[in-house]
Amino acid sequence: MAQLFQPYADMGVRAVLVAIAVSPAVLIAASFAVPRSPFVTGQSLVHLQPIPFSHEHHVGFDGLDCRYCHFGAETSRWAGIPPTEVCMTCHSQIFTEAAVLAPARDSLASGEPIPWRRVKALPDYVYFDHSIHLAKGVGCTTCHGQVDQMPLTLQAQPMTMGWCIDCHRNPAPHLRRREEVFADSWSPPADQSEEGRKLMAQYEIDTTHLTDCSVCHR
């Protein structure tokens, strides 16, 4: 009698049955993993810029304060992207003919802003205010990472809703004294748990409604 199925046919059927059985678990796992991946959140990704600006050089080596360029951080929702005039305050005197700074010179001459690419771009439906976070003791490096060690700026945190809510539920571990908000070298002290609770009281931070939808979605 002729053999209708080859010996490996049974193995193929078993493989298909196993694939069907595990596919729901794979799909569920993927639905959790993909939204949290750098491909979606942008975490740790570097965007090519018209000028390869180095925070490591300007902040880490030259010691520029964040507010010199991002002058709206303390008073506005937006920290602000520095206009070309801010860049040329220094570079009209130093590295004046550097090829890498040609876009800045062209921008100054034409009046057209340098087309910087945003590294941290929250969705339009998210309301975020830099000024209130700084006023309540949340330092720059908490969200932006150690920019003084970044030759090219990258997104240090996932910036997901879950990441934000974790802090709104328990901000104490992230709080620092206001005079240390802009310090790149800050690290939590050994008694940060107690210090954070004291600062919450000092800054009058009440978490009762910090996770209400309307806080970030207005």
The answer on pLDDT for 7 being more than 80 is no
Domain segments of the chain as ranges: 9-40, 44-79+117-216, 82-115
14 or 72: which carries more pLDDT confidence?
A: 72
Torsion of CA 26, 31, 35, 39, to 10 degrees: 40
The answer on pLDDT for 146 being more than 60 is yes
When pLDDT is cut at 50, 70 and 90, the band that residue 74 belongs to is very high
Give yes or no for a contact between 156 and 143, defined as CB atoms under 8 angstroms apart.
yes
Q: Render pLDDT for 45-58 as a digit per residue (tens, 0 to 9).
A: 898 999 999 999 99
What confidence score (pLDDT) does residue 10 get? 66
Give yes or no for a contact between 176 and 205, defined as CB atoms under 8 angstroms apart.
no
Residues 6+ apart with CB under 8 A from 149: 56, 60
Q: Estimate the crossing angle of helix 84-91 against helix 102-110, to 10 degrees.
A: 120
Q: Render pLDDT for 158-174 as a digit per residue (tens, 0 to 9).
A: 999 999 999 999 999 99
The answer on pLDDT for 5 being more than 70 is no
Beta-carbon neighbour count of residue 160 at 10 Å? 14
Compute φ and ψ for 145, nearest 5 degrees.
Answer: 75, -175
Give yes or no for a contact between 68 and 124, defined as CB atoms under 8 angstroms apart.
no
DSSP E strands: which ranges in the chain? none
E strand or H helix at 166, and its extent? helix 161-169
Q: Render pLDDT for 12-31 as a digit per residue (tens, 0 to 9).
A: 667 777 778 878 777 787 67
